[in-house]
Amino acid sequence: MKLYVKYDINLACRIIMQEQLERLAIKYELLEFGEIEISDSVSDESFTDLQNSLERYGIEIINNQKSQLVQRIKDTIIEMIYEKDKLPTSTISNYLADKLNLSYGYIANVFSEYTYTSIENFIIIQKIERAKKLIVEDGLTLTEVSYKLNYSSVAYLSAQFKKVTGLTPSMFKRIVDRRRNLNQ
């Protein structure tokens, strides 16, 4: 028997964090995605235990300030693309600068220094992943997907989709549909 699951990665991470912090009796407050405020001091032993238990789930505690900024940039982009019903109409550079309260030039430089790619490339990849999800799980048309993800046209969405995946969106949908039919 095969099970198909749909999950919310943000919710899963929050629950894992809560469980591990409570297991170690660490007083905390969950802030924005990826941020936790620790209320009391934590012993080195408890901190190491927390790090090890989180690593089991692929969650890493970030100590370096620039690495923390890169993670905040990624989290902000992912939140913008996945959690908003429609992407903001302002430019993404303005959105990131306002949200992170830093100049876009600095944000872009730190991001590319640590990830070896540009913010634009990261955004394109995330938008295409979201497009795949909207096509497969929500059954949206390409027109609806391009509107939701702020593409100027369906043709532009299709061109980026093919550049990233090697497939046109309609070819991708046909492959997914065939696999579903074979599994049933």
Residue ranges covered by each domain of the chain: 14-55, 65-183
Write the CB contacts of 31 (distance below 8 Å, at least 6 apart in sequence). Answer: 37
Write the CB contacts of 148 (distance below 8 Å, at least 6 apart in sequence). Answer: 85, 86, 87, 134, 140
Residue 105 corresponds to which tokens in the numbers above?
Answer: 């030039």
CATH topology of domain 65-183: Arc Repressor Mutant, subunit A (1.10.10)
CA atoms within 13 A on the CB side of 114: 19
**Within 10 Å of residue 36's Cβ, how many Cβ atoms?**
15
Q: How far is CA 161 from CA 45, 76, 79, 125, 150, in A?
A: 47, 22, 20, 9, 14
pLDDT in tens, 80-138: 888 767 677 678 888 899 989 999 999 999 999 989 999 999 999 999 999 999 988 88
pLDDT in tens, 26-67: 888 877 667 788 888 888 888 888 889 888 988 888 777 888
Local confidence band at 68 (pLDDT 50, 70, 90 cut-offs): confident
Q: Are 168 and 37 in contact (CB under 8 A)?
A: no
pLDDT in tens, 148-157: 888 889 999 9
Percent of the chain that is helix, strand, coil (3-state, to 5): 65, 5, 35
